[in-house]
Amino acid sequence: MRKKHDLPQKTCRHCGLPFSWRRKWARDWEAVKFCSDRCRRARHNESARA
């Protein structure tokens, strides 16, 4: 078992906060860009308004 500080981290493209690897992202960790569905939806809505 890995400790939380040993897990890979990324920075959310919308909010800029760091987030750690989660088991549900194991298959597509390279494609994950946002820390949550809320950030993903907000990012999508901003680009649609412009």
The DSSP code for 18 is E
Element of type H or E holding 20: strand 18-20
| pLDDT at res. 48 | 57
Q: State how far the Cα of 40 lies from the Cα of 33, in Å rounded to an integer.
A: 8
User: Measured between alpha carbons, how far is 41 from 26 in angstroms, rounded to an integer?
Assistant: 21
Q: What are the boundaries of each domain within the chain? A: 4-49
The 10s digit of each residue's pLDDT in 1-50 is: 778 778 899 999 999 999 999 999 989 999 999 999 999 999 767 665 55
